Amino acid sequence: MRILNAAAHVLSRKGYAGTRLSDVADQAQLQAPAIYYYFPSREALVEEVMWTGIWLMREHVGQVLAALPPGTGPMERIDAAVAAHLRYALDISDYTTAAIRNAGQVPDDIRIRYSAEAAKYGEIWHALLHDAAQAGLLRPELEPLAARMLVLGALNWAAEWWDPGRRTSLDTVVRTAQSLVRNGLSASARR
């Protein structure tokens, strides 16, 4: 776990191209050759971090949604998912930040396992939007897949620009994202 935690930390900050096993070893406070006892290659280590990041995100958002009171409306469920996604990616998990930031940088063979797990996470969002559409709450002109991918793309992009040291708090980012998503999707926000 110490190696994986260190790799997630380094990968989330330096990216795939900038991550060296020596950096991971320094972060984990061990000698670089010790990594090979647990992982056959740098790529195997990166793959594990990437998969873990998206798996943890799926688990977290799923648990947040499952904990909502029965009868929570579709738009409120979307609000909860937006908040859970942003808080997990920006504040809680180096793994998820690493996965988000590096999904487009890693070679295809590393991305296979990640992509399968990302598809499972996408199913959560598909269900959220489907439920809102079935309740007549979404703008009728929205194409569901495009809407889902645009929402997730915007949420994921926050990992690139948000800095906890800036004056914009995480709470402000979450509230702003919820407002943009809700008003962008909602049929009642249409004028």
Angle between helices 42-66 and 21-28 (to 10 degrees): 60
Where the chain has pLDDT below 50, the residues are 190-191
Instruction: Give the count of beta carbons closer than 10 Å to the beta carbon of residue 115.
Output: 15
What's the pLDDT score for residue 190?
47
Structure tokens at 191: 């004028």
Residue 18 lies in a domain: no
Domain range for 114 is 42-189
Residue 16 lies in a domain: no
Residue 181 lies in a domain: yes
**CB of 12 closer than 8 Å to CB of 101:** yes
Residue 116 lies in a domain: yes
Q: What is the CATH number of the domain that holds 175?
A: 1.10.357.10
Angle between helices 74-87 and 42-66 (to 10 degrees): 140
Residue type, 66: A
Q: Structurally, how many domains does the chain consist of? A: 1
What's the pLDDT score for residue 189?
62
What's the pLDDT score for residue 93?
87
Structure tokens at 11: 């990968």
What's the pLDDT score for residue 110?
87
Residue type, 98: A
Instruction: Give the count of beta carbons closer than 10 Å to the beta carbon of residue 171.
Output: 10
Residue 78 lies in a domain: yes
Residue 14 lies in a domain: no
Alpha carbon of 113 to those of 107, 117, 119: distances in Å? 12, 7, 10
